[in-house]
Structure 1
Amino acid sequence: MRILVVDDDPRIRETLAGPLGAAGYDVTAVGDGAAALAAVERERPDLIILDVAMPGMDGFAVCRELRAYEELSGLPRTPVIFLTVRDDFASEETGFQAGADDYVAKPFSIPALLARVRLRLPNAPVRVIDDYLRLDLTTRDVAVRRDGVWQPVRLQPLEYALLERLYLNAGIWISRSDLLEQVFDRDDEDTKAVEKYIHFLRQKLEPDPKAPVYIQSMRSVGYRFKPLDRAV
C-alpha cells in the first residue's frame, strides 16, 4: 500500500515516514501542493496525509484539485487525512467540504494517526518480515524463525505494547522515562519496569539475549528497535 505524505516541514515528513514505513507502507513524501498532485498522477497512492498551511497551494486547494482530477479521470476516491495546526471548527468544516475523509490536529500521536490510517485502509497488508523476526501489526502476531521454522511467540499485553512502540519508532532512541509514560502510563521516575520488560522481550525474541540485535540500548540514552533496512 502506498501513502503520500505532503507537508512543507521536513521534520514532519521525516517523523511520519519512519513509523509509516516501519508499519509496512510504501511512503512518498513531498513538500508542496504542486509536487503532491504530480505524485498522485505518477504513483496513484492508496492514501494521502496532507498538511493544510503550505506556501503556494494550500492543502484545501490540493484536495479540491485531487477530487476534480479523480472525477474527470474516472478514478476511485483516494482517502485524504488532513494533518494541521488549524483545529478550529471552521477549518475542519472547510477540510471536509474540500473532500477530506479525516482531520487530525497537530500536535498528534503517531499510534493514533496509524490507527486512523488502518481504518481508512482496512485491507492493507501491514506485515513486516525479515529473515528471523516477523511482526504482524494487524493481528499482533509475533514469530521468530528457529531451525528453519517460524515459531509463534506469546507476548503479554505490556510486552507487545513495548515492542510495538519501539518498532514503530525503529532507529530512534527513546528514553526509559518516555517509555514508562507512553507504554506503562506512569509519570514517576522508577524505570525498573521498563528494564524488566525489555529483558522479557529480549529473552523471547533475540537470537542471543546477551547480545541483542533487535532491541538495542545505550547507557544514559534509552532503547531503540534496530534501524530497518527495508519493510515489506
Structure 2
Amino acid sequence: MNKRSLTAIVAAVLMSLTAASANHLKPTQHFSDTRGGKTLNQIIPGQFGRWQQQEISSGIVNPQQQQLLDELYSEQVSRTYISDQGYRIMLSIAYGKNQNDSFQVHLPEICYPAQGFQVVSSAPTTIDTPFGTIPAKQLKTTYQSQRIEPVTYWTTIGNHAVRSGTDKKLKEIQYAMEGQIADGLLFRVSSVDPNLPRAFDAQLNFVSEMMSSLSPGDRLRLAGLTR
C-alpha cells in the first residue's frame, strides 16, 4: 500500500469518526419540554399593578405575514395595556421552541425598518426589578417623522437573558452540549411617546410590576430572573 492510499484511508476513517461523534452529540431533547405546558397567554396576566389590558390591541408592529410568523414561532402574544393614569404600553412576545437564526427576523432593529420605521438610536440598558436585573436594549424609532415609538426589549435562550449575539450563540452551545435544543423568547414593550425619558421610565415600571405579579418559575422563563 502506497503512502497516498494510506492517507486516503486514514482521512476516510477520521471523517467517519467525526460524523459519528457529531451525530452522537447532536441534541435531541427540546428544552421546551421542561416548561410544564403553560402557554404564554396563561402566564401573562391581564391586570397587574396599575396596568390593565385593553380589549383592542392595535398599533403593534408585526411586519411579517401571519403565515410566516406562525412558521417561525411556537407562540406569540400581542397586547396593549393602559395604566391608571391613561398611559399606554404595547407588549409583544415571540417564542420559539427550536431556537435558530430565523428568530433574528423579529428583532426590533430588523422588523421595525421592514415596517417603514427608522431606528434612530439603540443602546444597551439594564432593567432593575426586585428579583434581579434584566439585560435589555432601548431603541428610539420614528415613522415618517411623525410617530415616535421608544422600544425596550430583551431576548432569552432557555432560562438565560442574553446580552449580545455572541452571548446567544454561547448559550445555545451550552444547551447543545447538555443534549438539549434551546428555546428562545423575545420580550418587547413600546409606547407612542415623543418624550423618551417618560416612555422608558413607564416601560421599565411596566416590566418591573409585571415581574412582581409572576411566579418565580414564570419570571425565570420570561426574563432569566432567578429569584
TM-score grouping bracket, smaller chain normalisation: under 0.3
Length-normalised TM-score, structure 1: 0.26
- Give the structure with higher Rg (CA): 2
Length-normalised TM-score, structure 2: 0.27
- Please state which structure has a larger fraction of its residues in strand: 2
